[in-house]
């Protein structure tokens, strides 16, 4: 699904936390949304999902039945059911003790497709989603008994069960072991869906993302191919840390190597390299 972020800005708590972002994540590809804590990633994902209405600008999405002459529509004007069929947002995990089985939690993703009688027209969708999130072995377990990583897989399965055209993932690798991180991102990258994933791990972004957006204090600091964007000067300007960027000997992708360093007291004010320098 086409996605255009057009000058989007919004305030939370009286402060501009997303402040005039223009971006066009490539259709059908995996875009990494990067940036330090508090830089606005979750807020931008909620704006893209239509859960927040921007104070300025708009998030535009392609129509469900594309008519070449039809213009994209602002996401917050879509009805709730139409939005739920087209856009899935996996939010950062909230502690919840709902008395449901894993299969029942994943089936919640099918609600937008249920008929008036509550039937799911595709009775294989839940099993497929469980399989793709490597969570089939958990299907009959109680949701409340799962570990953090197991819950994360089930959250991903529920988002996949929605079979969205636009998949939004807020730190999808949180709690996952390295094997699950690699397999989940490899799977997500292979989807035909336009996907935007907030990621903290720059190496996972460098390895799997086709495109990255880097946020800094609510602004877009850089956007493009991770091989061009993830440079030491940009990383220093945005995160306030030194690193070396190597090239993976087999994939040619960037490998970001950090060494132990003096912790910065306040990265928002002590950065020696500014964003202007990095550009």
Ligand X SMILES: Nc1ncnc2c1ncn2[C@@H]1O[C@H](COP(=O)(O)OP(=O)(O)OP(=O)(O)O)[C@@H](O)[C@H]1O
Size, binding site for ligand X by CB under 6 A = 11
Applying CB under 6 A, does 17 fall inside the site for ligand X? yes
- Cβ(255)–Cβ(242) below 8 Å: no
Q: Which of 90, 35, 19 minimizes the C-alpha distance to 223?
A: 35
Structure tokens at 126: 């839940």
Applying CB under 6 A, does 38 fall inside the site for ligand X? yes
Applying CB under 6 A, does 43 fall inside the site for ligand X? yes
Indicate the residue whose CB is closest to ligand X.
13
Smallest distance from the beta carbon of 15 to ligand X, in angstroms?
7
DSSP-assigned beta bridge partners for residue 18? 10
Applying CB under 6 A, does 35 fall inside the site for ligand X? yes
- Among the listed ranges 36-44, 127-135, 201-209, 267-275, the one in contact with ligand X (CB under 6 A) is 36-44
Smallest distance from the beta carbon of 140 to ligand X, in angstroms?
32
Neighbour-count burial for 217-251, b at 16+ CB within 10 Å, e otherwise: bbbbbbbeebeebbbbebbbbbbbbebebeeeeee
Applying CB under 6 A, does 12 fall inside the site for ligand X? yes
Would you say 25 or 35 has its CB closer to ligand X?
Answer: 35
CB atoms within 10 A of CB 180: 19
Smallest distance from the beta carbon of 200 to ligand X, in angstroms?
7
User: Mask 77-116, x = binds ligand X (CB under 6 A)?
Assistant: ----------------------------------------
Would you say 17 or 229 has its CB closer to ligand X?
Answer: 17
Q: Which of 131, 151, 155, 149 minimizes the C-alpha distance to 141?
A: 151
Neighbour-count burial for 107-123, b at 16+ CB within 10 Å, e otherwise: bebbebbeeeeeeeeee
Phi, psi of 122 (to 5 degrees): -120, 95
- Among the listed ranges 9-17, 179-187, 251-259, 271-279, the one in contact with ligand X (CB under 6 A) is 9-17
Q: What residues make contact with ligand X under the rule CB under 6 A?
A: 12-13, 17, 35, 37-43
């Amino acid at each position: 699904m086409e996605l255009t972020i057009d000058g989007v800005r919004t305030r939370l708590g009286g402060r501009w936390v997303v402040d005039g972002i223009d971006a066009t994540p490539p259709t059908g590809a995996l875009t990494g949304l990067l940036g330090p804590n508090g830089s606005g990633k979750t807020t931008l994902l909620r704006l893209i999902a239509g859960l927040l209405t921007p104070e300025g600008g708009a998030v535009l999405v392609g129509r469900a039945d594309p008519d070449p002459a039809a213009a994209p529509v602002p996401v917050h004007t879509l009805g709730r059911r139409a939005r739920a069929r087209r856009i899935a947002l996996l939010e950062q995990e909230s502690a919840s003790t709902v008395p449901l089985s894993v299969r029942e939690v994943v089936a919640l993703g099918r609600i937008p497709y249920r008929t008036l009688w509550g039937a799911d027209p595709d009775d294989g969708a839940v099993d497929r989603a469980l399989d793709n999130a490597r969570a089939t072995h958990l299907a009959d377990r109680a949701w409340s008994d799962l570990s953090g990583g197991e819950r994360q897989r089930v959250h991903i399965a529920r988002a996949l069960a929605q079979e969205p055209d636009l998949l939004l993932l807020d730190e999808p690798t949180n709690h996952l072991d390295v094997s699950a991180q690699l397999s989940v991102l490899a799977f997500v990258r292979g989807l035909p869906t336009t996907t935007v994933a907030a990621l903290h791990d720059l190496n996972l972004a460098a390895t799997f993302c086709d495109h990255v957006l880097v946020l800094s204090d609510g602004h877009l600091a850089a956007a493009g191919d991770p091989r061009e964007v993830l440079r030491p000067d940009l990383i220093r300007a945005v995160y306030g840390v030194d690193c070396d960027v190597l090239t993976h000997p087999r994939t040619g992708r960037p490998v970001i190597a950090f060494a132990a360093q003096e912790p910065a007291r306040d990265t928002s004010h002590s950065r020696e390299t500014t964003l202007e320098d990095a550009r």
